[in-house]
């Protein structure tokens, strides 16, 4: 890890320390309140985080077996695809951080022309070999744009992993046709869950997660990079993060907050600890 970094959203240089998690300083910008890892990793350090163990080893801070979760993920991706299709007609799509390719595979089966960018060789190879998808190593900001601009760019649970979210959004904008749509998801550090769990929040995982956005900071970065935000949905998880280690409320309260009706209601209200943002290229 190298020098301290300036705020990615507002460029500010003054921060308050929030937590230290696994040796990484988590800071909050005094101006715009973006939360982030206070020291920049190098691209090499970041790349080393995503070998096969990240995807398949339940012991790591990554996923609990991405392949095992395939059906659940595909189901979730179909609902996200519905949302994207509510904003833009089926055409061409670029997914940044395409992982094992399940989202692209679902989109392709609906008639989208798809292409992925995935820096993890393990994941990209999986998508190419098993699903026959076209996947480039990226990063997006260094991949040359060939051919027509695309109708949609999606980045599911990716922006928090990047070391240059602003540059990546600018590159995404450059790839989109005017009126094209970007869709992305990330945790909401100002959600009730994040506040309740604090440093134990399941998404507080440096060095994998470098940036912790809120609705406000995410909206600001999207607007700054040339997008008009159309909607921000929530996953409906209120207060109790099922994946966090220590829920700090009584069990009965926790159970009520995690119940189906509450989640459904919260989702309808756009609340939750993960946000799904949809924005249009201006
Ligand atoms: Zn800031």
Residue 39, in any domain of the structure: no
pLDDT of residue 2: 42
| 231 CA to centre of ligand 1 in angstroms | 22
Residues in the chain: 282
Is the predicted pLDDT of residue 1 greater than 90, yes or no?
no
| 63 CA to centre of ligand 1 in angstroms | 29
Digit-coded pLDDT (tens) for 120-168: 999 999 999 999 999 999 888 887 777 789 999 999 999 999 989 999 9
Which residues have CB less than 5 Å away from ligand 1 (the ion)? 7, 9-10, 12, 29, 31-32, 34
pLDDT of residue 61: 43
Tell me what the mean pLDDT of segment 100-108 comes to.
97
Residue 202 · residue 257 · CB < 8 Å: no
Give the total number of structural domains in the chain: 1
Residue 63, in any domain of the structure: no
Residue 83, in any domain of the structure: yes
Instruction: Give the rounded percent of residues in the chain with a pLDDT score beyond 70.
Output: 94
Instruction: Give the rounded percent of residues in the chain with a pLDDT score beyond 90.
Output: 65
pLDDT of residue 58: 55
Is the predicted pLDDT of residue 86 greater than 70, yes or no?
yes
Determine which of 89-103, 215-229, 263-277 has the lowest per-residue pLDDT on average: 263-277
Residue 2, in any domain of the structure: no
pLDDT of residue 21: 93
Average pLDDT of the chain, as a whole number? 89
| 5 CA to centre of ligand 1 in angstroms | 11
| 46 CA to centre of ligand 1 in angstroms | 22
Residue 31, in any domain of the structure: no
| 185 CA to centre of ligand 1 in angstroms | 20
| 232 CA to centre of ligand 1 in angstroms | 20
Residue 121, in any domain of the structure: yes
| 36 CA to centre of ligand 1 in angstroms | 10
pLDDT of residue 31: 97
Residue 7, in any domain of the structure: no
Domain that holds residue 94: 71-281
Digit-coded pLDDT (tens) for 22-73: 889 999 999 999 999 998 877 777 777 877 777 776 555 445 567 778 999 9
Check which CATH number belongs to the domain holding 113 and give it: 3.40.50.150
Residue 172, in any domain of the structure: yes
């Amino acid at each position: 890890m190298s020098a301290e970094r300036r705020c990615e959203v507002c460029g500010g240089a003054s921060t308050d320390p929030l937590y230290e998690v696994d040796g990484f300083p988590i800071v909050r910008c005094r101006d715009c309140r973006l939360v982030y890892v206070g020291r920049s990793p190098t691209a090499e350090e970041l790349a080393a985080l995503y070998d096969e163990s990240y995807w398949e080893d339940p012991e790591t801070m990554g996923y609990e077996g991405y392949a095992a979760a395939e059906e659940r993920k595909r189901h979730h991706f179909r609902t996200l695809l519905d949302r994207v299709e509510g904003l833009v007609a089926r055409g061409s799509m670029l997914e940044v951080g395409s992982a094992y390719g399940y989202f692209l595979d679902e989109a392709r089966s609906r008639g989208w022309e798809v292409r992925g960018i995935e820096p993890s060789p393990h994941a990209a190879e999986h998508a190419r070999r098993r699903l026959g998808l076209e996947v480039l190593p990226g990063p997006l900001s260094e991949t040359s744009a060939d051919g027509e601009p695309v109708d949609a760019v999606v980045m599911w649970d990716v922006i928090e992993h990047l070391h240059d979210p602003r540059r990546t959004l600018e590159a995404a904008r450059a790839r989109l046709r005017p009126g094209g749509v970007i869709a992305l998801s990330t945790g909401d550090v100002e959600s009730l869950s994040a506040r309740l769990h604090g440093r134990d929040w399941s998404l507080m995982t440096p060095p994998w997660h470098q940036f912790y956005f809120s609705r406000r900071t995410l909206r600001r970065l999207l607007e700054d990079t040339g997008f008009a935000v159309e909607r921000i949905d929530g996953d409906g998880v209120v207060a109790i993060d099922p994946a966090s280690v220590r829920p700090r409320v009584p069990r009965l309260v926790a159970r009520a907050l995690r119940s189906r009706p509450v989640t459904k209601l919260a989702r309808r209200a756009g609340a939750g600890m993960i946000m799904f943002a949809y924005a249009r290229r201006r």
